[in-house]
Structure formats: C-alpha cells, structure tokens
Chain A
Amino acid sequence: MSDDIYREIILDHYRNPRNKGKLEDADVVIHDSNPLCGDQIDIYLKVKDGNIQDIKFDGRGCAISQASASMLTEMIINKPLTNAKDISKDDILENIGLTNLGPARIKCALLSLKVLKMGMVKYYEDKEPNTAQKLEKDSDLY
C-alpha cells in the first residue's frame, strides 16, 4: 500500500517541488489549510488575458499534499484560469497516480485544487462579480 503511494514521482515532487515559492507581483494570493492535519497551501497567480501566466505555491505538509500542489501547478500553468473549475477530484488523483487513497489522505491530495479554485473565484470577484458567482457555483469547492 505505502509502496504504491510513496513512489519515486511523489518523493521527487515532495523533495524538488516545481513552482514553489512566492510571486511578488501576483494578482491573487489565496491560502487554505486542512485543520485536521495542519497541511497549509498558499497559491500565487499572475493572470494575463485570462491565462495563468505564472503560478507559485508555498506551504508545508505531507508528501501527498506538497507533491499534489507541485503537480497541479505544472498542469495549469499557461492555461486559461477558468480551466480550474473543470478539474475534478479524479483528475487530480489520476494526475498524481493515487486512486486508492483513504478518505483522510484524499483531503491532503485535494487541498491545492481547492485553493486554486478559491483563487480563481477571488480573481474574478473584483473584476466580474457575475462570472465569479457562476464559477463558484460550477466549482466543486467541497
């Protein structure tokens, strides 16, 4: 079981996270944590013409939460920000290759997606409140 979870790719993203750090000129910064285990994720977004020009994440937590965040940033960078609403739970779990996580650990894997979706809504809240409302409704923010 653990042998399946802690594969090379997870350990690699945990120890050498991609797009980790802060963005000084971010358009949106959003933070959330998992109160059960204390995992924390900040996501910084730089958006241009609706596309994610740059994305960074900062945080601390378990290998699953941090590797998942790292892989998510690779998945979404240079894509339209609104793509975030269509990313599902299963997309993330497939992306990180962990489809059989227990309920407690799934939360770790999905924290960064939640933060990204919150960031998307926050970005549009200031500019296009109606779009933001619709995005919030369409996003499964659990």
Chain B
Amino acid sequence: MQTAQLEVNEIRKDFPILSRTINGKPLVYFDNAATTQKPFSVINAISDYYASYNANIHRAVYQIAEEATDAYEMTRDKVCKFINAHSREEIIFTRNATEAINLVAYSWGRKVIGKGDTIILSELEHHSNIVPWQMLCKEKKAKIEYLNVDNNGNLDLGKLESCIQQNNVKLISLSHMSNALGNIIPIESMIKYAHSFGIPFFVDGAQSVPHIRTDVTDLNCEFLAFSGHKMLGPTGVGVLYAKKEILECMNPFIGGGDMIKEVHKYETTYNDLPYKYEGGTPNIADVIGFSHALDYLNKIGMDNIRRHELDLTKYALECLSSLKGMKLYGDDNLSRRGGIISFNLGDIHPHDLATILNDNGIAIRSGHHCAQILMEKLDVSATSRASFYIYNTQEEINIFINALGKAIKLFRL
C-alpha cells in the first residue's frame, strides 16, 4: 500500500492537551488504547452545537432543530462510508462499544440463542465481549466455549473446527485487536470459515477500527462494534454496525421516544431502521463531535496511521528489549500487531511503574486491562501497557525508555 509519513509536529498542534505539563514535564500520553486525545476541531464542534444550534433532533420543524438533525444524521453517513457499510440504516449510535455488544446480546441474542446453544469467544477478549454473553447464556441455559491462546497471545485455531462440530454454535464473537496485547486476529479468514457453517460473526472493533482500515462489506461480518472516544471522538458515542436483514428481525433494545412509529394504549409499532434502536434523546453533541473526528482521520488516512503506529511500535520494541529484566508480551510478528505494547519490568509491579513514569510526565496503563481471563492465562496479575496514536513520536519513546531506566535504578533491578 502507498503510504506517506505523518506530519506529526503539525498534528500535535491540533491537540491542546499535548502542550500540558505533568510534574513539570511535557505530557507523554501512551494510553491511547483506553481513550485518545481530542483535536480542537472535535472540541469546538461540540461547543459550537451548544452555542449555535442546540435543539432536540428528528421531530421539531424549526430551523435550529433541522440543523441539529442534519449534523447528527450526517455523522451517520460518514460512519457508513468510514467502514464501507451498504447503507446508513445499518449504523446504530450507542454510548460505546460495550453498549453495542449488549444491544446485540439483548435484542438478537434473546431471540436467537436457546438452551444448549454455544457462543464462541476467545481468551483474548475484553470483559465487554465476555460479560454480556455470559449474562445471555445464563438466562438461556446456553454455553460459552473459549478459543485458547498460547503464551504470545496467538489464537489456537485448531480448536475452532472441533468446537463447531461438537456444539450447536450460534455465534462467534472476537475482538479484531487485543486491547491487552495488541495482537491482530485473522478475522478475515475466520469469518469466511464461520460462514461456511452458517455461523454469524461479531467483530469487536474497539481497538482495530481506530487504527486499521475497516471494510465491513469486504469482511462480510454480521456485526461490528466500536467506540468513538478511542478514535479522537468524544466519550459517549459508540457504533453498532449490523447487516440490515438482521437488524430488521431483531427486537428493540431501549423502548421510548424516537424508536416508535405509533404508540397506542396496548400496542406500539416501531420506527424504521436505524431509529428503532435509538430510543430516547441521543447524545447529539458528541455524535456531531465524532463526525469531526472521522474527518480528521480521513484527512490523515488510515493506511498512513497504521504505518506510523507500526514504525513507533517497532522502534519501541527494539528499545524496550534491551532493558534489564524486560518481559514483553504479544505476537513477535509486527504485521499481526497494533500499536500496543504490554510488558513487565523485573519484579516492579505495573502500578508502581506507572507511578514512577507519572513523575516523568508519562501516562501508561497498568493493571489487567479488563482482560482477567488473559492475565490468568499468561499467569500474571497485571502488565504495564503503552499504546500509541497519530500524535506520538520517537522522542516520546526515548523519554519513556529513559524513565524506565530510572525505575530500574530505583528498584535496584
């Protein structure tokens, strides 16, 4: 693919938070897998909506309501294009990826999953792609089977065939990129394989959609969930993509205003897609803000973003592996890896390490990363995690490595 180097110094000027200092040091923000920072365009768009055309959408006929409706619905068109969905009716706004998964577990799962049925997950999953299915399976007396991972977090695909043959599998739901390790799962081939048995496939794209070009028409997955705040957008906006024919058959999720066509005393007819799944006043301001996040990413280009993150990850891994006591997790093959590095340094607990790094202005994540099943598998209670995005630089990695050196000294490793 043809890619261009990012103009990182120019990009950084668009993010006001990056000029902050922490403990007298410039902020080095390496917790992008948790949430990303926001450019001026996103921050201003939210403020502009409240200052200039704040109104509830869809029903009112006065001008500012029409402006608000247009801005909200235009975001849907942009999302549709961003992931190359067939139609805007397939794009449902939720609060976050977690809610998108819960929506499907509730509205689709309660209709389709029955006693003795099986849902396949993996040991890599974030809690948000486990708990909703556990709740569903408990209620329906269905069960969950896990695809195992090896010590590098790579899926054991050998088990998939026997698992499908021995069980009545109704769904496979996997994250495209592990939030804890950065491993990228070969979902393209897995979706084709699942379809050869007639099994629908849910892609948890919370980590992948912000970093890798995602094309649902190409993937042909039944469902995709992701969160706006992990891709420069505001918190409070998530997206569920689902194939239209599936959305048409599902039951509503949240009952209330906006999701109805006609309400009578004892009966209601539901609204058309996508509104059927967006009950109540939605998060108008933040959806509008998200549209500017998509503009920003489109301007830079997803392939360029991927390349930038790969360059940073490669550089960081090289520097990290030379440190005393360094234990790195995840796939060694960079082509199957996103801009996430999980590690442990000697016997320094990740929380202690994060405290020491914070003294140096560096924000990393420490803990189980909402992936306790994976942590158990790797036999660690926690890891430290650095994750990169478009505004991160090699200089920041140098600062990070330097601070790790201080931690090694402090703990006398």
Contact = CB atoms under 8 A, between A and B. Distances in A.
Contacts of A75: none
B306 interface: no
B355 interface: yes
A23 to B, nearest CB: 22
B382 A6 contact: no
Interface stretch (A32-40, A119-127, A129-137): A32-40
Given A61-B349, A61-B381, A38 B410 contact: no
B299 interface: no
B351 A105 contact: yes
A40 B367 CA distance: 12
Q: Of residues B23, B355, B359, B367, which shows the largest number of chain A Cβ atoms within 10 Å of its Cβ? A: B355
Nearest to A64: B352
A47 interface: no
Contacts, number: 46
A6 B349 contact: no
Contacts of A87: none
Q: How large is the interface on B (under 10, 10 to 19, 20 to 34, 35 or more residues)?
A: 20 to 34
B412 interface: yes
B347 A37 contact: no
Interface string B247-272: 00000000000000000000000000
Nearest to B375: A38
Contacts of B352: 6, 62-64
A6 B381 contact: no
A11 B412 CA distance: 9
Contact of B368 (A1, A38, A108): A38
A38 B348 CA distance: 15
A25 B372 CA distance: 31
Contacts of B368: 38
B356 interface: yes
A52 B412 CA distance: 35
A33 to B, nearest CB: 10
A60 interface: yes
B227 interface: no
Interface string B347-367: 111111001100100000011
Residue from A15, A38, A64, A108 having most chain B Cβ neighbours under 10 A: A38
A77 interface: no
Interface string A65-109: 000000000000000000000000000000000000000010010
Q: How large is the interface on A (under 10, 10 to 19, 20 to 34, 35 or more residues)?
A: 10 to 19
Contacts of A63: 348-349, 352
Contacts of A49: none
Interface string B372-394: 10010000011000000000000
B193 interface: no
Contacts of B355: 2, 5, 105
Interface string B333-355: 00000000000000111111001
A3 interface: yes
Contact of A2 (B347, B359, B412): B359
B352 to A, nearest CB: 5
Interface string B198-235: 00000000000000000000000000000000000000
Given A1-B359, A63-B352, A64-B352, A37 B382 contact: yes
B311 to A, nearest CB: 30
B411 interface: yes
Nearest to B351: A62
Contact of B410 (A6, A15, A61): A6
Interface of A: 1-3, 5-6, 11, 15, 36-40, 60-64, 105, 108
16 contacts: A1-B359, A2-B356, A2-B359, A6-B352, A6-B410, A11-B412, A37-B366, A38-B368, A38-B381, A39-B351, A61-B349, A61-B381, A62-B349, A62-B351, A63-B348, A108-B351
Given A2-B406, A11-B411, 16 more contacts: A1-B23, A1-B359, A2-B356, A2-B407, A5-B355, A6-B411, A37-B366, A37-B367, A37-B382, A38-B367, A38-B368, A61-B349, A62-B350, A63-B349, A64-B352, A105-B355
The 5 closest A-B pairs by CB, nearest first: A62-B349, A62-B351, A2-B356, A60-B381, A2-B359
